[in-house]
Amino acid sequence: MDKEKIISVQNLTKQFGNFTAVKGISFDVYKGEIFGFLGANGAGKTTAMKMLIGISNPTSGEANVAGFDVHTQAEMVKKSIGYMSQKFSMYDDLTIKENITFFGGIYGLSRIQIKQKIAQLVEELQLQDVVNNLVGSLPLGWKQKLSFSVALLHEPKIVFLDEPTGGVDPITRRQFWEMIYTQAYKGTTIFVTTHYMDEAEYCDRVSIMVDGAIEALDSPKNLKEQFKVDSMNDVFLKLARNIE
């Protein structure tokens, strides 16, 4: 049986003036996969991701995300995905409960659904003592876990995570990845960017962007074999160096 494609990208290109940020990239992501989207600063990751989540119109090429065309059905794309920004983007001066209620409302959940979600998240993240505290007062690690859960409130098929673990302590970083694994196991597709190369090893498949193009795409194991190195860090260094 063929694996179900949840993201399908063909020759996707984005130009800003005479600068081409994304140069005709093509790839597929399958349902329930953890897909690592790596690249150096300025390689075009963020631009590519913005096109996939429907907030930037491609100059040319095609992309289908969760069954919708990013050109013509950008609003449907937005409804079908979750997105967690690298910059914490919940309201610091609202409580945890108020934030969940707010984002639940934005995603079109009913009052009853929101109530159920709050109860579920409080239980899963053990927020019993802090649910009425301002989000701004939470440690970074909790904020990240909460952001992730909020990005999943409307049970999207795909969740996009943009450097979700930057600056987080090593234990929380791993707890975060366990949440990712659990979610992928339930069938949610995870599309994640990171600068931690050990995290690249946790992905099912990894793509590496260099200078606007995808220079490598495979499982971490195959990439290491292909480049004859022991770690994803070395794969990354090798790829980026070869270009220079």
Residue closer to another protein, measured from CB, 79 or 141: 141
User: At its nearest, how many Å lie between another protein and the CB of residue 235?
Assistant: 10
Query: What 8-state DSSP symbol labels residue 186?
Result: T
By the 8 A CB rule, do 193 and 161 touch?
yes
Residues making contact with another protein (CB under 8 A): 39-43, 86, 139-141, 163, 166-172, 174, 177-178, 181-182, 184-185, 195-198, 201-202, 220-221, 231-233, 236-237, 240-241
Query: Based on CB atoms, which residue is closest to another protein, 107 or 202?
Result: 202
Considering the complex, state which of residue 116 and residue 133 has its C-beta at the smaller distance from another protein.
133
Please tell me the number of Cα atoms within 13 Å of 133 on its side-chain side. 12
DSSP states of 128-166: TTTTTSBGGGS-HHHHHHHHHHHHTTT--SEEEEESTTT
Closest approach of another protein to the CB of residue 43, in Å: 8
At its nearest, how many Å lie between another protein and the CB of residue 69? 31
Shortest Å distance, C-beta 170 to another protein: 5
Q: How far is CA 71 from CA 11, 20, 35, 57, in A?
A: 13, 18, 23, 6
In the block, tokens 């800003």 appear at: 16
Using the minimum distance from each CB to another protein, give the nearer residue, 112 or 244: 244
Tokens 């590496």 identify what position? Answer: 208
Which residues are CB-contacts of 111 (< 8 A; sequence separation ≥ 6)? none
Closer by beta carbon to another protein, 93 or else 178: 178
Smallest gap from residue 26 Cβ to another protein (A): 23
